[in-house]
Amino acid sequence: MDSYIIRPELPTDAAAIFEVHLQAFAQDGESRLVNALREDGNINPDLSLVAVHDGRIIGHILFCRIAIISGTVETAALALAPLGVHQDYQCRGIGAALIETGLEECRRLGHRIVIVVGHPGYYPRFGFTAAKESGISAPFPCPDDAFMALPLRPGALDGIGGTVRYPVAFDTVGAHTS
Ligand SMILES: CC(C)(COP(=O)(O)OP(=O)(O)OC[C@H]1O[C@@H](n2cnc3c(N)ncnc32)[C@H](O)[C@@H]1OP(=O)(O)O)[C@@H](O)C(=O)NCCC(=O)NCCS
């Protein structure tokens, strides 16, 4: 499917972004997470991308700032969460396009590491591997293969290690998955 565009979110997109996650996930946790992050000032529009088809938002991906904590050392990283594509448009490459465009933008902005909690059958195709292999752990119970990390530059995961700290909005809505 090629008749869609991917662009940064606009202030007027908030309601449609809420709706697309509600529809994709069939629950409102991810939608409320995005709103809570926005209210807390944790959304950079350049890293909040929408897929638009015929003027309608059919997909959304967000990357927000997190930290990997090891003792007194904090390493800046991004969480990919959430990612949702409207059910009528799934499995047409839109999720992949949002991920690839988003990762390109993350690199352009100088970010080094992306963490995702997601399906181990989907994210490895974009280069994600189990975060545990790099000594990075989740602050909540999570299967090892679902908690993944991606270095945006060669060596970005070398010598990092630690536990991820998410923005408080993730606790409020209980959503960590992409
Ligand atoms: C997951 C999601 C974002 C993928 O976007 P998409 O545009 O449908 O996916 P793409 O067209 O890029 O890729 C299709 C592939 O994703 C797989 N896929 C779709 N949904 C999936 C899911 N929930 N878990 C694992 N794999 C999934 C398809 O089986 C297909 O695999 P294949 O290429 O090996 O055949 C989208 O299906 C979605 O919004 N699902 C509901 C929300 C959700 O479950 N999000 C959690 C993501 S782990």
pLDDT digits over 13-33, tens only? 999 999 999 999 999 999 999
Distance 108 CA to ligand 1 centre (A): 25
- Which residue type, as a one-letter code, is found at position 51? A
Atom number of ligand 1 nearest to Cα 96: 12
- Average pLDDT over the chain reads 96
Q: Is 91 in the pocket of ligand 1 (CB under 6 A)?
A: yes
pLDDT, average across residues 53-66 = 98
pTM, entire model: 0.95
Whether 59 shows a pLDDT value over 80: the answer reads yes
* pLDDT at residue 173, rounded to an integer: 77
Q: What is the full DSSP assignment across 98-110? A: HHHHHHHHHHHTT
pLDDT, tens digit, for every residue of 78-88?
999 999 999 99
Helix, coil or strand: residue 88: helix
In which band, very low, low, confident or very high, does the pLDDT at 1 lie, cut at 50, 70 and 90?
A: confident
Peptide bond into 124 cis (omega under 30): no
Ligand 1 atom 30, closest CA: 91
Nearest CA to ligand 1 atom 46: 178
Question: Residue 175: CB within 6 Å of ligand 1?
Answer: no
101-135, pLDDT tens digit by residue? 999 999 999 999 999 999 999 999 999 999 999 99
Q: Work out which ligand 1 atom sits closest to the CA atom of 93.
A: 11
**CATH numbers and ranges of domains, the chain:** 5-173 (3.40.630.30)
Q: Is 94 in the pocket of ligand 1 (CB under 6 A)?
A: yes
146 lines ligand 1 (CB under 6 A): no
Burial class (CB in 10 A: 0-12, 13-18, 19+), 16: middle
Single-letter code of the amino acid located at 7? R
Nearest protein CA to atom 8 of ligand 1, as residue? 90
